[in-house]
Amino acid sequence: MMEELRKAADHIHRIEQSRRAEAESVRAANSLPKEALETQFTIPLKSAKIRGKVSAVDGGLLSYEMHGADLIIARAVSSTFNYGENSGKVEEYAYFPRAFPQPSYRVETGLDERETLWHKSLVRLEFEISNAFDTAKKEKPGYLLLDGSICPLMCDRPAEESRLFPLYLGLLNKYKELYDFCTENNVALVGVIKDSRSRRLVEMLEHPLSTGISDTVFLHHFLKENERTFAFRYSDSPQKHHVLRELGKWGEKICALYSKPVKGDRPIRMEFLNGQKPFSEIADFISTLSAINRSYAYPAILIDADLRAALDPQELERAVKSLSLFAGPSLLDLRRNSRPFR
């Protein structure tokens, strides 16, 4: 076993060396992709003054599959920090609906395996976007941060023949309402993605790269500390992208960039609506919020929201036991969860 692991480690090391060399080659060429929305490939980050209200939203979800039924427990929480004009430190804070809200319970029956995955994603997004909209109206922060993308992913979209598709369409309307409100009330909506697997940026490059390399893997070697990439559109063909097309005019406004606020961590991806604030202002503000630890780059306020939204697995165990008690013998566990032996 040890020999096999050693060989695997050597293989990973060789791949990383190759990726580093590719990144250095691209950096030396300094060829700006045609789809770049700015005139430089790499742009220095500047320390931003953190002032006023900043809100962040995250959600927690637990699920349990049974024979013919699926249980979901979910909640979303927003943290709002008010940074002092003179001190630049958190002087007030608030949570919506409260610091540790009671979770909600959903039971759905008759879903196939694909629909079960879609249902989990749609419920989580529904809670998070509803909370984000309510927080935006209540607090009117200068920045509203989401944990993850500011639009549904393609894997979140159910098949049109699925009975979950109307739920998805309703969710798209909630996104549009959020975009409208934030734009009209000068609330900068930004999605911060900690572990993006997108390949959008590397696919823009004319320089050939290793097959399957993601943006963050490439940029981990390419970007230096306190640098960011140019901004770019979420998709080069919004009308061919199902989700963006269904978001209407907003699908063409969604943009992204990557920044590396600290030396010891990988780049983070930011998504935002083009036209709300200058690219550099958004990048500098979020990067400054994220430079909280030399080996971990992520906004402290999103970490706070994540800790408050997280659900205890024991909550799921209690819910399953109660549901079984109320439903009686009509509710059966999955065979893989009820086998009498291991």
The verdict on residue 340 lying in a domain is no
* Average pLDDT over every residue of 86-101: 93
| Residues 86 and 11 grouped into a single domain | no
58: tokens are: 């995250």
* Total of domains in the chain: 2
The verdict on residue 125 lying in a domain is yes
| Residues 20 and 89 grouped into a single domain | no
The verdict on residue 249 lying in a domain is yes
Per the model's pLDDT, the better-predicted residue between 321 and 74 turns out to be 74
| 8 Å CB contact between 124 and 61 | yes
In degrees, rounded to 5, the angle at the alpha carbon of residue 24 between the alpha carbons of residues 21 and 30 is: 145
What does the pLDDT read at residue 55? 98
| Residues 174 and 96 grouped into a single domain | yes
**Cα 55 from Cα 141, distance rounded (Å):** 6
* Average pLDDT over every residue of 293-299: 92
What does the pLDDT read at residue 154? 94
What does the pLDDT read at residue 190? 98
Q: Is the pLDDT of residue 79 over 50?
A: yes
**Cα 143 from Cα 186, distance rounded (Å):** 9
| Residues 292 and 255 grouped into a single domain | yes
Domain region containing 14:
1-30
Q: What pTM did the predictor assign?
A: 0.91
| Residues 17 and 91 grouped into a single domain | no
Residues in the chain: 342
Interacting residues of 44 by C-beta distance below 8 A, sequence separation 6+: 226, 227, 228
| Residues 1 and 95 grouped into a single domain | no
The mean pLDDT of the chain is: 90
* Average pLDDT over every residue of 248-272: 96
What does the pLDDT read at residue 152? 96
Report the CATH number at residue 95: 3.30.2170
159: tokens are: 């098949």
| Residues 3 and 47 grouped into a single domain | no
| Residues 2 and 97 grouped into a single domain | no
* Average pLDDT over every residue of 180-189: 97
| Residues 235 and 261 grouped into a single domain | yes
* Average pLDDT over every residue of 191-199: 92
Percent of the chain at pLDDT exceeding 70: 93
If pLDDT is split at 50, 70 and 90, which confidence band does 340 have? Answer: low
* Average pLDDT over every residue of 197-220: 87
First to last CA, the chain: 24
Interacting residues of 160 by C-beta distance below 8 A, sequence separation 6+: none
Residue 274, amino acid: N
| Residues 22 and 80 grouped into a single domain | no
Interacting residues of 321 by C-beta distance below 8 A, sequence separation 6+: none
What does the pLDDT read at residue 332? 46
| Residues 24 and 94 grouped into a single domain | no
For 109, phi and psi rounded to 5 degrees? -120, 155
DSSP, res 223: P
**Cα 27 from Cα 39, distance rounded (Å):** 15
In degrees, rounded to 5, the angle at the alpha carbon of residue 279 between the alpha carbons of residues 276 and 283 is: 110
Collapsed DSSP state (helix, strand, coil) of residue 260: strand
Lowest mean pLDDT among 105-119, 228-242, 297-311: 105-119
If pLDDT is split at 50, 70 and 90, which confidence band does 232 have? Answer: very high
| Residues 143 and 3 grouped into a single domain | no
pLDDT tens profile 308-333: 999 988 887 787 777 666 555 555 45
